[in-house]
Amino acid sequence: MLRNVPVISVAHLQKRYGSFTAVSDVSFHVEEGEIFGILGPNGAGKTTTVESLQGLRSVDGGVVSVLGFDPVTHAAEIRRRIGSQLQESALPDRMKVWEAADLFGSLRPTGPDWHELIADWGLAEKKDARFGSLSGGQQQRLFVALALANDPQLVFLDEMTTGLDPASRRVAWDLIRQIRDRGTTVVLVTHFMDEAENLCDRLIVVDSGRVVATGTPQGLIEEYGGGVRVRFSNGGADLDWLREVPHVHDVARERDRYEVRGDGPVLAHVAAALVAHGIAPVDLRQERATLEDVFLSLTGEAE
């Protein structure tokens, strides 16, 4: 397969609604077989961005290519090859689950068998239920299943797990990984940091219509997470010599509790140094910033 040919490339995407600029400068690329995350606070422009890529919205600026097509001029070509779970859409209330699956499945007769798809997404018993009678999470799972009904090369999932219970979310993650393993590229818009951390190979953080960070979840944590913190408690003496330990930048103490900041293998060096000084705290532990900390600091919502 053509590795390293981006499935999606976006350069300086811009989109205005009237005089309001929803997306002012978004650039990124997605490679084949990736699960690519788009994170950002409410109103950041995530949905606008992914819907522009699907040719569902006109764009006001930038160069975009999806599967080699321009969504402005070749939207139909793109839509035929992608799957999409929209943040907001609906089916007729009186349409039954199997009818929807059958209908969307017949768009691509060579696609997966809809019975299996429905079963994968936990809707086998709801086959004959009307769309309007499904719970929010069941409707959501149906939409994800329908997004896969045409055996897409690329699938857009806009808040796929919003409204799912914890068990269903785990199942959804597994299913998404399986889809990726079969070669489908996935673009995932999410508000769940654990989801992004678990699922995404790379991600961007968008804020106010701009990309504020790009990288792997681990890479972002290392870059923006403010390093490593090691904590322990001990008698209350000043342990200033810890500053000389490799990889340590700083030591702070509050009564008997210590916090050592640094980066890299701080824990190992601090542990060794403490033991060498005859100190063996039972609560010695390392704390790393989470993706959530990174997200909050990047999008200015920490305070």
Partner 1 sequence: MRLLAKMSWLEMKLFLREPLTVLFALALPLLVLFVMGGVFGNEVDAEFYRGIGAMDYYVPAYIALVTASVGLISLPVHIAGNRELGVLKRYHASSMPAATVVGASVVTTFVVALFSAVLLVVAASLGYDIGAPDSIPMVVAAFVLSALLFASLGVLLGAVLPNSRAAQALGVLLWFVMLILGGAGPPPEVLSGAMDVVGQATPLRHAIRTVQDGWLTLDAGLSWLVVGFIFAVATAAAIRFFRWE
Ligand X SMILES: Nc1ncnc2c1ncn2[C@@H]1O[C@H](COP(=O)(O)OP(=O)(O)OP(=O)(O)O)[C@@H](O)[C@H]1O
Report the residue from 16, 29, 74, 80 that binds partner 1 according to the rule CB under 8 A: 80
Neighbours of 271 (CB within 10 A): 18
Q: Which is nearer to Mg ion, 67 or 189 (CB)?
A: 189
Starting at the earlier edge strand, list the strands of the sheet with 82-85. 61-66, 6-17, 20-31, 210-215, 202-207, 35-39, 185-189, 154-158, 82-85
Q: Which stretch binds partner 1 (CB under 8 A): 62-70, 90-98, 116-124, 257-265?
A: 90-98
Q: Which is nearer to Mg ion, 41 or 112 (CB)?
A: 41
Mark 143-182 with x for binding to partner 1 (rule: CB under 8 A) and - for no binding: x--x--xx--------------------------------
Residue 119 sits in the site that holds partner 1 (CB under 8 A) = no
Q: Are 176 and 199 in contact (CB under 8 A)?
A: yes
Residue 56 phi/psi, 5° resolution?
-95, -15
Joined tokens for residue 111:
């696609």
Mark 84-103 with x for binding to Mg ion (rule: CB under 5 A) and - for no binding: ---x----------------
Report the residue from 28, 35, 37, 47 that binds Mg ion according to the rule CB under 5 A: 47
Amino acid at the residue 200: C
Residue 104 sits in the site that holds partner 1 (CB under 8 A) = yes
Residues 35-74 that bind ligand X (CB under 6 A): 40, 42-48
Report which secondary-structure segment, H or E, holds 195.
helix 193-199
Residue 241 sits in the site that holds ligand X (CB under 6 A) = no
Residue 56 sits in the site that holds partner 1 (CB under 8 A) = yes
CA–CA dist 96, 83 (Å, integer): 20
Q: What is the dihedral of CA 287, 291, 296, 299, to 10 degrees?
A: 140
Smallest gap from residue 121 Cβ to ligand X (A): 22
**Angle, CA of 270, 275 and 278, to the nearest 5°:** 130
Q: Are 268 and 274 in contact (CB under 8 A)?
A: no
Smallest gap from residue 143 Cβ to partner 1 (A): 8
Binding residues for partner 1, rule: CB under 8 A, are 54, 56, 76, 79-80, 84, 86, 88-92, 94-95, 99, 102-104, 106-107, 143, 146, 149-150
Q: Which residues bind ligand X (CB under 6 A)?
A: 17, 22, 40, 42-48, 87
- Binding residues for Mg ion, rule: CB under 5 A, are 46-47, 87
